Amino acid sequence: MLAIDLKPKAKKFIDALPPKHKRQIKDSILSLLDVPFPHDSKKLMGYEDYIRIDTGEYRIIYRYEINKQLITVVLVGKRNDDDIYRIAKRALK
């Protein structure tokens, strides 16, 4: 059975969101348990193990470890903000 690991940076970002957006992000993350590679998911350029999905105005960056049956949500951030990629560059080394 698949499990979800939410990294501290992702949790901190989600906790600071308004309730509606928080619920939207959580629903998207939980849906990964059923479909780890949704139709709108894309591999993160430059990082072959990481995947990104969009939900509303937010982007979720995660890794699916098949052998461990684990989805690790690394980052969540605004979709049209380059900060998420700057943070990802440091966090995904």
Give the number of other Cβ atoms within 10 Å of residue 16's Cβ.
9
> Looking at the predicted structure, is the pLDDT value of residue 81 above 80?
no
> Looking at the predicted structure, is the pLDDT value of residue 18 above 70?
yes
Tell me the CATH number for domain 3-91: 3.30.2310.20
**CB-side neighbour CA atoms (13 Å) of 62:** 28
> Looking at the predicted structure, is the pLDDT value of residue 8 above 90?
yes
Calpha distance 37→51 (Å, rounded) = 8
Question: Which H or E run contains 3?
Answer: strand 3-6
Calpha distance 4→62 (Å, rounded) = 10
> Looking at the predicted structure, is the pLDDT value of residue 93 above 70?
no
pTM higher than 0.85, yes or no? yes
Q: Where are the domains of the chain?
A: 3-91
